[in-house]
Amino acid sequence: MKVRDFALCIVLLAAATAAILLVYRDLPVQVPLHWNAHGEVDGYGPRWMLFAIGPGLMGLELAIFALLPVLSPRRFEIESFRATYVRLVLAAVAFPAYLLAVVLGAALTGRLDVSGAILGGVSVLTLVIGNVMGKVRRNFFIGIRTPWTLASDRVWYATHRVAGKSMVLAGVASLGAALWGGLAGTIAWIALILAGVMVPVAYSFVHYRALERTGGLEVS
């Protein structure tokens, strides 16, 4: 994969860095960096740490994602779903940028509902990933990688079609739970996100066994 594949990620990283520099003098020396389950600040850190949790984390993710295609073994190349991989990388790199925006908003205004914003952000990320999950080809790094999906192309593709639907539904429903708020909303949010991931994992096992019993399993 080439540098141009990650051009938007690089632009996003530069924008995150510029955003910190733009407001750096207006930030308190100690900025809020951690919140408890009630949305109350329970941890502070020096403002320079924003560079680590924003551009630093984004750069680390980008470096790892750029390396994975090189590490992929033959017959499991990421190049086979290059466009989808680039979209997934962009989503992954954009999430720390979103978290940085939330932290900056909290530090500058002190009035932002950080817990709701973070839960909502994860919901949207789940929805975005689910939207492209059905296009992910068999590989060792991205997707629902269970013993059963890695053993069979048929199980892999069927599982990822299910994963796409379950993650999109979980993303939409959990976003509603995040907006609902409160303890009940948080519990519902956790259950929905877990369901969005665990349903396709369970399906991969059930589908593999079904194909095995009927002789329809194609092991490669």
- Poorest-confidence range of 25-29, 92-96, 167-171, 187-191? 25-29
What number of CA atoms fall less than 13 Å from residue 116's CA on the CB side?
13
Provide the residue range defining the domain that includes 23: 1-112
Note whether 83 and 186 are same-domain residues: no
Q: Domains in the chain: how many in total?
A: 2
pTM of the model: 0.89
Question: What does the pLDDT read at residue 67?
Answer: 92
Of the residues 67, 91, 112, the one at which a domain ends = 112
70, 29: one domain? yes
Three-state SS annotation for 69-123: HHHCCCCCCHHHHHHHHHHHHHHHHHHHHHHHHHHHHHHHHCCCCHHHHHHHHHH
Q: Which of 36-50, 78-92, 169-183, 192-206 has the largest mean confidence?
A: 192-206
Domain termination residue (choose one: 59, 84, 112):
112
Percent over 70 (pLDDT), the chain: 96
**How does the average pLDDT of the chain come out, rounded?**
91
pLDDT, tens only, 125-183: 999 999 999 999 999 999 999 999 999 999 999 999 999 999 999 999 999 999 988 88
pLDDT band at residue 218 using 50, 70 and 90 as cut-offs: low
Mean pLDDT score, 79-97: 93
Q: Do 82 and 29 belong to one domain?
A: yes
Residue 1, pLDDT score? 62
Q: Supply angle C-alpha 218, 148, 214, rounded to 5.
A: 45
